[in-house]
Amino acid sequence: MQADKKRLVILISGSGSNLQAFIDHCASGQLQAQIVAVICNKPGAYGLERAAQAGINTHVIEHGDYANRESFDAALADLVDSYQADAVILAGFMRILTPVFVDRFLGRLLNIHPSLLPKYPGLNTHQRAIDAQDSHAGVSVHFVTAELDGGPVILQAEQAIEAQDTAESLAKKVLHKEHIIYPMATNWLLTGRLALHEDGAYLDGKILPKTGILLD
């Protein structure tokens, strides 16, 4: 472990392509950080293999082993805390976190959500954008607060919806953009440019609009 580098803990449930983007950005030095642990709530998730291949500590923690949501969240929070994380990155972590977890990491807890928030919190975002005949789908990086997919947005990227697009084809195109904007927003947080205040997200001392910054 390098003492001078900021410490990331990344939570996943699935394929971990966003995790891979962080691994690559750390390796190339684009992100001055080290991933100190990957925690997953689904045994066998491919992201665990990506982490192991990169030599990162992994943990599997399953909610079925806990009496209720709060006790799971408390155990998860203790595990994350044991790594003294500067930032906690939810990267396809498919479990709603209660204030027991969220409040402990407020201001250093980020999520990526595949829609242009505040549109389409929750699931099936790309299909919902197609069904609504939106011109664009997209993705948002936001601070996590107790409200589901509702914390202040930091950075968004858009993806035009074409006539032949399906939810799957859109998801693929949007993922490419996720892999750019998530490490970018995290870098702002780790370098002290980005902060969460009561009235919203601030970048370089200025409050961001409700939909964050749109990446060109």
Q: Which of 6, 7, 76, 92 binds ligand GRF (CB under 6 A)?
A: 92
Please give the residue whose beta carbon sits closest to ligand GRF in the complex.
Answer: 92
Q: Which of 11, 91, 117, 170 binds ligand GRF (CB under 6 A)?
A: 91
Count of chain residues binding ligand GRF (CB under 6 A) = 15
Nearest CA to 36 out of 45, 23, 20 is that of: 23
Q: Binding of ligand GRF at residue 16 (CB under 6 A)?
A: yes
Please, what is the minimum distance in Å from the beta carbon of residue 56 to ligand GRF?
Answer: 15
Please indicate whether residue 136 is annotated as part of the active site: no
Give residues 48-87 in contact with ligand GRF (rule: CB under 6 A): none
Burial 72-82 (b: 16+ CB within 10 A, else e): bbbbbbeebee
Q: Which of 50, 102, 114, 188 binds ligand GRF (CB under 6 A)?
A: 114
Contact region with ligand GRF (CB under 6 A), list: 12-20, 22-30, 49-57, 185-193: 12-20
Q: Binding of ligand GRF at residue 17 (CB under 6 A)?
A: yes
Is-contact 23 38, C-beta < 8 A?
A: no
Residue of 25, 59, 63, 113 marked catalytic: 113
Q: What is the gyration radius of the CA atoms in the chain, in angstroms?
A: 17
Longest dimension (CA), the chain: 50
Q: Residue 125 is inside which H or E element, if any?
A: helix 125-131
Give residues 162-201 in contact with ligand GRF (rule: CB under 6 A): 175, 178
Strand duo 153-160 + 136-143: pairing: antiparallel
Cα–Cα distance measured from residue 117 to residue 135, given in angstroms and rounded to the nearest whole number: 15
Tokens of 18: 């966003």
Residue type, 51: A
Residues belonging to the active site: 113
Binding site for ligand GRF (CB under 6 A): 12, 14-18, 47, 91-92, 112-114, 139, 175, 178
